[in-house]
Chain A
């Protein structure tokens, strides 16, 4: 849940990048880390296995500056994508203000995407949250791969985007769509906050 300090006029929001293993969640954060000036970001924390697979989460705090007179900070988290780590994945989701679902656009990964999306739904439910009420955007990553290997964004929308939320075409490794995705989710999260926040 967003933390709003009316005295010092600060807002802190938690955004979670969710999706199947190797879909590019950590790559999104690495790209953001690389582009944001030092003064506007904290240390990137990665709790990873020896083979660089996310074990618990990656974490990157960024400072957006002043928005509507509030000093606004976002905490970006990724979850471990591998099925095996569901317990930790569920923990990271706790208190999320918004979710970016990073799907792997490869046709052979469709089942994994679907499974991860269902997993997101059930893990949110365990926290007492209905997926339909959470600010959510979809990112279809790896759209740079040869066309015969991937599904089009329209096909992916048909298969995964049952809520009809905003979706973004991305190649996170080279930064394509990363910024747009972050902007998309930020708007949704702050819009929800603008509608009423805990005092």
Chain B
């Protein structure tokens, strides 16, 4: 199973969580649905769909909580026939992150996931750097490459 992290500091806490909670698929993402780290997905584009949906669920429930004038819900769990889906959020030095974990009911449980999620939140908070400074990303002449990429993408 592949475990990947966009930012290296998320990797160790994620690997530990996967091992201890027995989770099958895990995503750590920003509240806007951008993936920071993942375990168990093979294609990057599939990860993005799961992240978009997970972030949307958290955003919806946070909004319901806001309309009820109460703090955001700590976590959410959806229990299926063979798998459970757990969603929780954590405030880190890099802002609010959302964690989505899919676990197999045969080998793990909500209790285990909840238990090790608490540890994960602590580990992520401890490992997270503060917001970084701006860095130059793209070369000034990226437009031509972008144009070529889009042309190829649309078969033009």
Chain A residues in the interface with B (C-beta under 8 A):
1-8, 10-12, 14, 35-37, 40-43, 45, 47, 56-57, 59, 61-70, 72-73, 75, 77, 87-88, 91-92, 94-96, 179, 182-183, 186-187, 190-191, 193-194, 196-199
Contact flag A198-B132 (CB < 8 Å), given A11-B137, A67-B138, A73-B48? yes
* Shortest distance from the beta carbon of B22 to any chain A beta carbon, whole Å: 27
Which residue of the partner chain, among B59, B135, B150, B154, contacts A197 with CB atoms under 8 Å?
A: B135
Kindly list the 10 A-B residue pairs having the minimum CB-CB distance in the complex, ordered from nearest. Answer: A95-B32, A42-B45, A199-B132, A196-B134, A61-B48, A194-B138, A3-B34, A91-B59, A68-B138, A5-B6
Is the pair A6, B30 in contact by a Cβ cutoff of 8 Å? no
Interface residues on B, range: 35 or more
Q: Which of B21-47 contact A (CB under 8 A)?
A: 30-36, 43-46
Question: In the complex, what residue of chain B is closest to A14 when comparing beta carbons?
Answer: B32
* Shortest distance from the beta carbon of B134 to any chain A beta carbon, whole Å: 4
Question: In the complex, what residue of chain A is closest to B52 when comparing beta carbons?
Answer: A59
Query: Is B56 an interface position by the 8 A CB rule?
Result: yes
Q: Which residues of the partner chain A approach B35 to less than 8 Å between Cβ atoms? A: 3, 12
Is the pair B153, A36 in contact by a Cβ cutoff of 8 Å? yes
Query: Is B1 an interface position by the 8 A CB rule?
Result: no
